[in-house]
Chain A
Amino acid sequence: MLLQRFLIRLLTMAITLFGVAVVVFVVIRVAPGDPIAMMLPPGATDTDIARLRALYGLDKTIVEQFFIWLSGVVRGDFGTSISLRQDVLGLVFNRLPATLELAIVALLMALAIGGTTAILGARERGTAVEAGIDIASGAALSIPDFLWGLVLILLFGVLVPIFDISGRVSPQLDLPFVTQFYLFESIARLRFDLTKDLLGHMLMPAVALALPLAAIISQLLKQSLKEVLDLDYVVLARVKGFSETQVILREALKNAALPTLTLVGVQFTFLIGGTVIVERLFSYEGLGNMAIDAVINRDLPLIQGIVLVFALLFVLINLTVDMMYALLNPRLRHG
């Protein structure tokens, strides 16, 4: 049952990725403007242009180009970046860890903020505290990450300049890292001075990304908690003399968390999508920032590679959540 579900999901995942590849390829090839012409210095001869077009395979028909590119992608060859003249996969892998670290830190923050306010709101249900939490989460949800980023830049970059608003790490620091996962590696190496610097740079973009998601988690988890708190077994726990906080943490949370979990999966992909503009806003050297540069430079192979990696990340997250849901939900497990 579970295996069958997994295989079906795997198949739809492949179809989705193929669809993304087709859409991206078609969209890009419709683009006016010759990327080759922009690469060459003025005064380049037609032979030079033709040679370069052949080198990048741009002299073949669009269907041929698609299948040449796709067969490369399947073998892990995403082509060569036109503007940076490096292997696309290498460039993407170089930047992806920065984006993943940012997204994971933001997700953890969203879970912490959303979870805490949900538990607090459920414990203080019907009071001014709950009303306050509702208003705050309503505002946090309606204002998108782009605007939160700007608000944070103003508050903590200009008004009270306590955080860095630009870059991933202070440029003067000597970095001993062998991977691109700077934050995780700094913790593993116990270099907490570097961890502090990295977190100082990451904090504000992460908060900007986390706030809308925190609001959604808070609203949904609070709602499920309130429903569970009226059930018999919870009432029994209360009769046994557990405090309301104990009741929530020990009894209610476990059962209320499942609907939230499904939602967090989808919302996490939205959060990752948001890194594109938030990285730009904070000059954070991640995949999204590179993607915008790639679009501006009309770097076709690089754009294709980045979009495909984002899409792969999205479907993998959805697959993981779907499988976790199937494993945790007793009705599906035995169904």
Chain B
Amino acid sequence: MDDGRISRHGSGARLWLAGGWLLLALLAAIFAPLVAPQDPLAQDLMFERLPPFWMSGAEPGFWLGTDSLGRDLLSRLIFGARIAFIVAFAAALAACLVGSTLGLVAGYFGGWADRIISRIVDVWMAFPPVLFAILLVAVLGTGLSSVIIAIAVIDWTRFCRVIRAETMGQARMDYVENARIAGYGRIGIMLREVLPNVVPSIVALLSLEMGIAVIVEAILSFVNLSISTDDPTWGGIIAEGRLSIHQAWWVLVFPLVTLILTVLSFSQFGEGLKARFDPVLR
């Protein structure tokens, strides 16, 4: 689907723009207590639903305005980035590890291993993913680790399907046959010869999956089933914004823009990396 010609032209700028935003958001998350102008949990009914800085009625220090409880929106977004990035990294890595391993095994060994793994993938694909996530978090109990586990349990199939197909293609190539003639063992060939060739796809998927994990966390927060503490999350802010949309549009607009930029950046960053490292496209 992705045209190599376009990828090569756009990949530099794309990589920098997307990487720049992600780096900015990551730094804000890490140094949240230092960069957030206000306490994200501090409520002040004198300051409820303040508009952003360029509108009349804004208060200095509350750059993006406040929500219905008078909490500073910018500070809540910055602290929300912490949850978003923790979930993105942990859930995507876990899904990647499980899915890529199973995909590699299914694609390289074929036979019964492939049949069993593919059947499990079929079963998983028959679940509506959002409903599955909500169900898992309801079962595991709300909390950060539940959210991470739920996303990994659902989305490993994405890695498994792609890596399985790619490994099958690689396994038919001459270099694999040569390695076998040279006397390497099957697991050795799989890890040393085939794996490096599917790494560009894994990296692109990993970045894409981080974006998806951020969305799923937001969806879970939106239906009030993410982390149960008072910590601000992007989805939680969006849920508040959806309720007060006619009184304070900014409570919905800013987390939405943040979320869109982050998701776009993760997918573009992955595509950009893939275009840069894929020997065929390069």
Contact = CB atoms under 8 A, between A and B. Distances in A.
Interface of A: 12, 15-17, 19-20, 23-24, 27-28, 30-32, 134, 139, 142-144, 146-147, 150-151, 153-154, 157-159, 219-220, 223, 269, 272-277, 280-281, 288, 291-292, 295-296, 298, 303, 306-307, 310-311, 314-315
B249 interface: yes
Contacts of A306: 131
Contact of A31 (B139, B259, B264): B139
A15 B119 contact: yes
A150 B238 contact: yes
B219 interface: yes
B246 A296 contact: no
Nearest to A28: B139
Contact of B215 (A31, A147, A288, A310): A147
Contacts of B132: 307
22 contacts: A12-B122, A20-B126, A23-B127, A27-B135, A32-B141, A142-B263, A143-B264, A146-B219, A150-B242, A151-B260, A153-B252, A158-B246, A274-B130, A276-B131, A277-B130, A288-B128, A288-B130, A303-B135, A306-B131, A307-B127, A314-B128, A315-B126
Contacts of B268: 142
Nearest to A16: B122
A108 to B, nearest CB: 21
A15 B115 CA distance: 13
B208 to A, nearest CB: 9
Interface centre among A31, A147, A310 (most CB of B within 10 A): A147
Instruction: Kindly name the residue among A28, A30, A31, A275 whose own CB sees the greatest number of chain B CB atoms within 10 A.
Output: A31
A94 B28 CA distance: 48
B264 A139 contact: yes
A19 B267 contact: no
Interface residues of B, number: 42
B134 interface: yes
A31 B249 CA distance: 38
A307 B119 contact: no
Interface of B: 1, 6, 119-120, 122-123, 125-132, 134-136, 138-139, 141, 211-212, 215, 218-219, 222-223, 225, 238, 242, 245-246, 249, 252-253, 256, 259-260, 263-264, 267-268
A17 to B, nearest CB: 7
A154 B136 contact: no
A154 B138 contact: no
A27 B139 contact: yes
A152 to B, nearest CB: 11
Nearest to A134: B6
A154 B245 contact: yes
Given A20-B127, A291-B131, A295-B138, 12 more contacts: A12-B122, A16-B122, A20-B123, A27-B135, A142-B264, A143-B260, A150-B256, A158-B249, A280-B222, A292-B131, A295-B225, A310-B126
Nearest to B132: A307
Contacts of A20: 123, 126-127
A269 B125 CA distance: 9
Contacts of B238: 150
Nearest to A272: B128
A120 B126 CA distance: 34
B128 A142 contact: no
B119 A276 contact: no
Contacts of A150: 238, 242, 252, 256
B245 A314 contact: no
Given A31-B139, A146-B219, A311 B127 contact: yes
Given A157-B245, A277-B130, A311-B126, A151 B256 contact: yes
A243 to B, nearest CB: 26
Given A23-B123, A139-B264, A147-B256, A310 B128 contact: yes
A23 B128 CA distance: 13
Given A28-B139, A280-B223, A295-B134, A154 B252 contact: yes
B256 A276 contact: no
Contacts of A291: 128, 131, 134
B215 A16 contact: no
A26 to B, nearest CB: 10
A307 B123 contact: no
Contacts of A303: 135
Given A146-B218, A150-B238, A153-B245, A298 B138 contact: yes
A154 B125 CA distance: 32
A269 B130 CA distance: 12
A298 B137 CA distance: 12
Given A23-B123, A139-B264, A154 B256 contact: yes
A147 B262 CA distance: 12
B71 to A, nearest CB: 20
A220 B1 contact: yes
